[in-house]
Amino acid sequence: MGYRIAVVGATGNVGREMLNILAERSFPIDEVAALASSRSQGTEIEFGETGQMLKVQNVEHFDFTGWDMALFAAGSGPTKLHAPRAAAAGCVVIDNSSLYRMDPDVPLIVPEVNPDAIDGYKARNIIANPNCSTAQLVVALKPLHDRARIKRVVVATYQSVSGAGKEGMDELFEQSRGIFVGDQVDPKKFTKQIAFNVIPHIDVFLDDGSTKEEWKMVVETKKILDPKIKVVATCVRVPVFVGHSEAVNIEFFEEIGADEAQDILREAPGVMLIDKREDGGYVTPVECVGDYATFVSRVREDSTVENGLSLWCVSDNLRKGAALNAVQIAELLGRRHLKKG
């Protein structure tokens, strides 16, 4: 006996990956519903590579009663409208938007890092998925924190355009093509030209001069990993279609060398260490696409601070940063709370 699963935002970048990953991992499913807005109602999408076609339904008219879990990837607006009624109907919501992440009654989960926090889901019947940049960061930090206690993290991100949805990918494609034929650049989704450029601005500006994306990395890392860790982030959009990269500098309370950190990371859940100190001996975003892992490379000591390490970390933002993490949460929920069969 399997689950009845609804995917909300099934036609989007993350929703499609959710369907792919549910199928790839043979998630025990009796029935799957693909939901989106009225725009795509009636269109068909494939359930992973199973050959099974799903007719897209309008979430506005969908009754969540009798459905076990709803994986939401539709943005904060539609989530605010439909997640509470799904949860009230007894269907556990696993949400990818930022809406509920900092709600004290909603667990914010990365299964490799804080699986036990899932037990708090009953307060609202909602579980939140972190921001894509936070998810890969905490997977890499957790095993090092367990060994040498992290004091402070300085992170700079190199975030792909797929983090801004389908429209972000289309804008990079159209601008790149347009620039080659001499067209004028006309930014829409991004604030400046993204093709052949980088933009140090993701989400809105806050009063202190940081951006909301940077704030999210700080508060979400604290909520998932440890509130005592100090974090400062600079989030940058780069002209890469899929795959977020991060340059991470870490200061520890206890001494830890690069060799030991590599040994720890090699064994850590969700991490793939690719770290040869030679040409090409590291991972770049194009190589992580379609993979589950958080890749870590360039682990080295930072002699400018006491107990410092620097590293490079890359992951598929649509997978570990969103869809994979949501499916892992669904698997965890199934194992611990919603057992079937």
In angstroms, the CA 199 to CA 319 distance is: 23
In angstroms, the CA 79 to CA 232 distance is: 29
DSSP, res 250:
E
CB of 21 to ligand NAP, least distance (A): 13
Nearer to ligand NAP, 11 or 328 (CB): 11
Nearer to ligand NAP, 11 or 20 (CB): 11
In angstroms, the CA 160 to CA 166 distance is: 12
Nearer to ligand NAP, 241 or 253 (CB): 241
CB of 14 to ligand NAP, least distance (A): 3
Fill in the amino acid letter for 324.
L
CB of 339 to ligand NAP, least distance (A): 28
Pick the closest to residue 206 from 197, 218, 198 (CA basis).
Answer: 218
CB of 136 to ligand NAP, least distance (A): 11
Task: Clarify whether 201 is annotated catalytic.
Answer: no
CA distances from 319 to 27, 120, 149, 265, 314 (A): 16, 24, 28, 20, 12
- Closest-CB residue for ligand NAP? 12
In angstroms, the CA 278 to CA 157 distance is: 23
Contact residues for ligand NAP (CB under 6 A)? 9-15, 36-37, 39-40, 59, 73-75, 78, 96-97, 132, 162-163, 165-166, 317-318, 321-322
Tokens of 45: 């999408």
- 8 A C-beta contact, residue 206 and residue 215: yes
- 8 A C-beta contact, residue 151 and residue 230: yes
Tokens of 153: 């993290």
Nearer to ligand NAP, 245 or 307 (CB): 245
Buried-state track 70-93, b at ≥16 Cβ within 10 A, e below 16: bbbbbbeebbeebbeebbeeebbb
Judged by DSSP in three states, 274 sits in coil
CB of 303 to ligand NAP, least distance (A): 35
Nearer to ligand NAP, 106 or 309 (CB): 106
- 8 A C-beta contact, residue 151 and residue 253: yes
Nearer to ligand NAP, 74 or 148 (CB): 74
CB of 312 to ligand NAP, least distance (A): 19
Tokens of 198: 């980088």
> Pick the catalytic residue: 132, 235, 288, 313?
132
CB of 18 to ligand NAP, least distance (A): 9
Nearer to ligand NAP, 233 or 250 (CB): 233
Pick the closest to residue 265 from 292, 126, 257 (CA basis).
Answer: 257
> Pick the catalytic residue: 82, 91, 235, 244?
244
Place of tokens 């698997």: 331
Task: Clarify whether 337 is annotated catalytic.
Answer: no
Judged by DSSP in three states, 199 sits in strand
Buried-state track 301-331, b at ≥16 Cβ within 10 A, e below 16: ebeeeebbbbbbbbbbbbbbbbbbbbbbbbe
| Catalytic residue ranges | 132, 244
